[in-house]
Amino acid sequence: PVSGQPDYLERLNPEQRQAIETIDGPLLILAGAGTGKTRVLTTRFAHILLTGHARPHQILAVTFTNKAAREMRDRVGALLGGPVEGLWLGTFHSICARMLRRHAEYVGLTTGFTILDTDDQLRLVKQVMEPYRVDTKRWPPQGMLGVIQRWKDRGLTPDRVTPAEDSEFGGGCARRVYADYQARLIAVNACDFGDLMLHMTEIMRTRPDVLAQYHRLFRYILVDEYQDTNTIQYLWLRLLAKRAGQPSNIACVGDDDQSIYSWRGAEVENILRFERDFPGAKVVRLERNYRSTAQILAAAAGLIAHNDGRLGKTLRPGREDAHGEKVQVVSVWDSDEEARVVAGAIERLRADGHPLSEIAILMRAGFQTRPFEEQLMTRGLPYRVVGGLRFYERAEIRDCLAYMRVLAQPADDLAFERIVNVPRRGVGTAALQKLHLEARQIKGPLTAAVARQMADGTAKGKSKAALQSLMQGFERATETLAREGQVVAVEQLLEDVGYLAMWREDKSPEAPGRLDNIKELLRAIGDFQSLEGFLEHVALVTEAEDSAAEDKVSLMTLHGAKGLEFDSVFLPGWEEGVFPSQRSLDEGGLKSLEEERRLAYVGLTRARRRATVLHAARRRIYANWQDAIPSRFIEEIPADYVEHSGQAMQERRLTAAQPSVFAFGPVSSRRPNYGHAPRVTDVYDASPTDITVGTRVFHQKFGYGIVTDVDVDRLQVQFEKAGEKRVMASFVEVAV
């Protein structure tokens, strides 16, 4: 380099360079989307290492997603010319999990503690609520979990929730439920996601020796997406950053306009408080956006200008290439056409040589992906749903994981409960209740209670034989684990206890797929050094992180897209009630509407070259078609940067003069019903119009069944397991 600067600094603008070369002391980088905040953070990481200020494991770097963590690890590796080991780099949760394993005993856990998934949490909170006789119709356990989670987000342990702060929820027992829930977690040696932060913060608050250890360890702290930290994350960071007699070497980057997680307790005030928290903090602003074209940038800036109370930032185009295209706004008739238009546009992009990995469809809510998936699949366009129904959330995978958890930790009662009667082995509710009683008496886990009942002859009959063979399965697997490793042990276990046989004998069409998933799971375990290591990985993966390098269209929510960028971005469903969401409108407050607007801003600013916004004239809400009004956000984009189209809609309007019930009416009335014999239909090709008497359908709650009667939007279905039921047509899918 001419100036004698290292190469990696050459490619930055002066403000960015300043942010990187300010190594010591608190630093806040406050800047709009695409200004290189994340890039600065990454380069700063490398710079600290290259200038010898710290060794790799002495830097704590917090990202918002595992994906971002991986990107940062790759970028640092590239800058340093090879992979770097032992980094404290990851999400708040993954870093806390790693810390907590070292100090688990301070909160009454052992180092092998389990991290629960939401199923387990729900089961646990249900159990805990039982003695309080809460009316669960009015106050469902999910809601109670939400209350507890919000307390955790605010850093409140049960003893810190004052009576005044007790929630209305549950009619005044929430605080006690919270305390009981925490006690149960400790008893089964587990913690939920929120506990990772809560426990670690608590330990650092009360154990100066532990805190001092981390003060010595972490010389530098880097935090991305600081605007979305919640109170507990903020407290945790502050504890780590404030070192007696030493500078707080904490660098945070953020953008108040992209704060989109207040519903999860994020406090944008944290960013505003930074200078007060860390006196002498240097604040750097970056103004040049290197991501998007000038048109997209101006559109996004015009939109976000409708929010009040912003810190206010300038954004100037930093890219030298042309002005770019205007933001396209396309009016479509309904969500099917919307999906067709988007898929068609993607087909054309691909034909023009654009890689699919540079294309994203970003929606307001997860459930919106379905029509897009169908269209992409029909046209043979590969895609991935990021953060959709993840691999690890599938029932068969959850079952296997539960078996593995019991194998790794026999005290894991929640996992044991999940599998004790899967496959069915005749261990009913009564038998399980007896086990619980026994466990309470011996103050041990359920597996110990089983052993006890076997020994003293309490267990009888069918459930005795069943439990015995189950426990033998675990014993054999434990031996195999020590001898031959986790892959062989787990496979043997699943075979021994009859779990694999259950799916082999299952005649339903999806059973082979489930067996494939299990095979895939067994393969994945082999990539880890231990069963525990694998289970930890699974508990912490929060998005589909696989195959990121493959050439696929990305489908995800706007929330999940934070920090990412794509050449082409499609933004469907910009209608009042969808985006902004009905909920934000119902709440009526300016605050929630402004958060929706920030979300729209995040969406637009993900695009490098092309942004396409779509809105439909009609949308089906459950079984009813409703007229939809274009989102106010469309009008808020300055007209100069927008190009409207929607020929399709006008054409359709003409044809819509025909009896509309046929074209757009409730699902099942659209096609005359001749009482067909059962048909085999590919689930992806079928639209709900294909539902007639005899159609095999799938219902989320009741499973598979055959339609026996159709009445406008209601179906009579004979379900295989649940018996005959009347259900809404829009709640079922046509099954294979």
Stretch that binds ligand ATP, among 32-40, 235-243, 415-423, 701-709 (CB under 6 A): 32-40
Non-local (6+) Cβ contacts of 622 within 8 A are 728, 730, 731
* Tokens of residue 438, six digits: 């026994």
The answer on whether 324 is annotated among ligand-binding residues is no
Sheet arrangement for strand 220-223: 88-91, 59-63, 220-223, 250-254, 27-31, 282-286
Please pick, among 37, 219, 340, 609, the residue that the annotation labels catalytic: 37
Between the alpha carbon of residue 342 and those of residues 213, 336, 388, 564, the distances in Å are 53, 10, 19, 20
Stretch that binds ligand ATP, among 26-34, 44-52, 112-120, 509-517 (CB under 6 A): 26-34
Work out how close the CB of 564 gets to ligand ATP at its nearest, in angstroms, rounded to a whole number.
7
Work out how close the CB of 563 gets to Mg ion at its nearest, in angstroms, rounded to a whole number.
4
Work out how close the CB of 566 gets to ligand ATP at its nearest, in angstroms, rounded to a whole number.
11
Look up residue 266 and give its DSSP letter: B
Size of the site for ligand ATP (CB under 6 A): 19
Work out how close the CB of 82 gets to ligand ATP at its nearest, in angstroms, rounded to a whole number.
21
Contacts of ligand ATP in 441-500 (CB under 6 A) = none
Residue of 16, 38, 295, 375 that binds Mg ion (CB under 5 A): 38
Place of tokens 């200078």: 275
Nearer to ligand ATP, 256 or 334 (CB): 256
Stretch that binds ligand ATP, among 37-45, 269-277, 341-349, 407-415 (CB under 6 A): 37-45
- Length of the chain (residues): 736
**Interaction of residue 38 with ligand ATP, rule CB under 6 A:** yes
Amino acid in position 217: L
d(CA 32, CA 301): 10
Please pick, among 258, 453, 612, 692, the residue that the annotation labels catalytic: 258
Q: Hey, what's the torsion of the CAs at 520, 523, 528, 532, to 10 degrees?
A: 60
Q: What residue 12 binds from ligand ATP, Mg ion, none (CB within 5 to 8 A, per partner kind)? A: ligand ATP
Q: Which residue in the shown chain puts its C-beta closest to ligand ATP?
A: 36
Secondary structure of residue 615 in the 3-state scheme: strand
440: left (phi over 0), alpha (psi -120 to 50) or beta: alpha
Q: What residue 699 binds from Mg ion, ligand ATP, none (CB within 5 to 8 A, per partner kind)? A: none
**479 given a catalytic annotation:** no
Residue of 291, 464, 619, 632 that binds ligand ATP (CB under 6 A): 291
**606 given a catalytic annotation:** yes
The DSSP result for 571-596, as a single string, is E---BTBTTTBHHHHHH--HHHHHHH
Non-local (6+) Cβ contacts of 334 within 8 A are 616, 617, 618, 619, 620, 625, 664
**258 given a catalytic annotation:** yes
Work out how close the CB of 74 gets to ligand ATP at its nearest, in angstroms, rounded to a whole number.
13
The answer on whether 37 is annotated among ligand-binding residues is yes
Place of tokens 């806390």: 96
* Tokens of residue 574, six digits: 């910009």
Between the alpha carbon of residue 687 and those of residues 338, 671, 690, the distances in Å are 15, 11, 6
Residue of 20, 33, 222, 628 that binds ligand ATP (CB under 6 A): 33
Residue of 19, 39, 235, 398 that binds ligand ATP (CB under 6 A): 39
The answer on whether 681 is annotated among ligand-binding residues is no
Backbone angles phi, psi at 163, to 5 degrees: -55, -35
Stretch that binds ligand ATP, among 31-39, 56-64, 178-186, 453-461 (CB under 6 A): 31-39
The answer on whether 31 is annotated among ligand-binding residues is yes
**Interaction of residue 34 with Mg ion, rule CB under 5 A:** no
Residues of this chain that bind ligand ATP (CB under 6 A): 11-13, 16, 31, 33-39, 255, 258, 290-291, 563, 565, 605
Q: Which residues are annotated as a binding site for ATP?
A: 31-38
| Catalytic residue ranges | 37-38, 224-225, 258, 606
